[in-house]
Amino acid sequence: MILMKDIYKTYDNGVTALNGINVEIDQGEFVYVVGPSGAGKSTFIKLMYREVKPSKGKLIINNKDLTDLKEKEVPLLRRQIGVIFQDFKLLSRLTVYENIAFALEVINESPRNIRKRVMDVLELVGLKNKARFIPSELSGGEQQRVSIARAIVNHPKLVIADEPTGNLDPDTSWEIMKVFEEINARGTTIVMATHSKEIVNTIKRRVIAIEDGRIVRDQHRGDYGYEI
């Protein structure tokens, strides 16, 4: 469960990116975050994995109150959340297998468990046959599937994605969305910031629209609501 109560974020340069956010997201929901460029979507997403700290307000993620979270507690929080970016952020010298295994090695999983979990997750994203490839040998959609595999290999309760289809062509974007839907069907909460009108209007889910740092719309099975 995610709870934000009167959340404000003002960056060091004086820009107020979030201006009193109140929202509750239940376990298992699939939420799109939409809004114009600069509205505060990325800031909203970054709060959840403590890339950004709120200036004011109460924030609960996975039932943990982050208000007084200590620096040393941040890695544990991040291990419980899968994060997916527009530009994939894979390690270029490591193979697909190693990119995903890395997330498990840092938590001291046994080699046998690592092998099983990496192969299972590669199967889920349909890339078992590319385990030994390096990222530059893959298409954009395949790279994004690797980054999804890496994000979910720990079985996080929450997956957040900031414009995951932003660098992909429409066909590839639909493939990626199928993977997200499958993860969500297994009970994982998904929060996804997107500029894709087609996706939001076709795969109907909860829509939270942010403008000028405020939630201006929150609809069950909503529309994208903007022209582009």
Ligand X SMILES: Nc1ncnc2c1ncn2[C@@H]1O[C@H](COP(=O)(O)OP(=O)(O)OP(=O)(O)O)[C@@H](O)[C@H]1O
Name residue 219's beta-bridge partners. 207
Minimum CB–partner distance for residue 92 and ligand X (Å): 24
| Residue 87 found at the interface with ligand X (CB under 6 A) | no
Q: Which is nearer to ligand X, 11 or 226 (CB)?
A: 11
Residue type, 100: I
Q: Which is nearer to ligand X, 18 or 125 (CB)?
A: 18
Contacts of ligand X in 39-78 (CB under 6 A):
39-43
| Residue 219 found at the interface with ligand X (CB under 6 A) | no
The residue within the footprint of ligand X, chosen from 11, 63, 87, 111 (CB under 6 A), is 11
Minimum CB–partner distance for residue 39 and ligand X (Å): 4
Beta-strand runs (E) in 62-153:
64-65, 81-85
Minimum CB–partner distance for residue 192 and ligand X (Å): 12
Name residue 208's beta-bridge partners. 33, 218
Q: Which two tokens stand for residue 174?
A: 């639909």
Residue type, 174: W
- 166 in Cβ contact with 141 (< 8 Å): no
Hey, is 151 helix, strand or coil? helix
- 117 in Cβ contact with 128 (< 8 Å): no
Which one of the spans 37-45, 77-85, 109-117, 180-188 is the region binding ligand X (CB under 6 A)?
A: 37-45
> Which strand (E) or helix (H) includes residue 121?
helix 111-124
Minimum CB–partner distance for residue 13 and ligand X (Å): 5
- Closest by CA to 30, choosing from 190, 228, 208, is 190
Minimum CB–partner distance for residue 28 and ligand X (Å): 25
| Residue 141 found at the interface with ligand X (CB under 6 A) | no
Which one of the spans 13-21, 57-65, 75-83, 180-188 is the region binding ligand X (CB under 6 A)?
A: 13-21
- Closest by CA to 137, choosing from 90, 67, 104, 176, is 90
Q: Which is nearer to ligand X, 51 or 175 (CB)?
A: 51
Q: Which is nearer to ligand X, 127 or 208 (CB)?
A: 208
| Full strand arrangement of the beta sheet holding 64-65 | 16-25, 2-10, 56-61, 64-65
Number of residues that bind ligand X (CB under 6 A): 12
- Residues in contact with ligand X by CB under 6 A are 11, 13, 15, 17, 35, 37-43
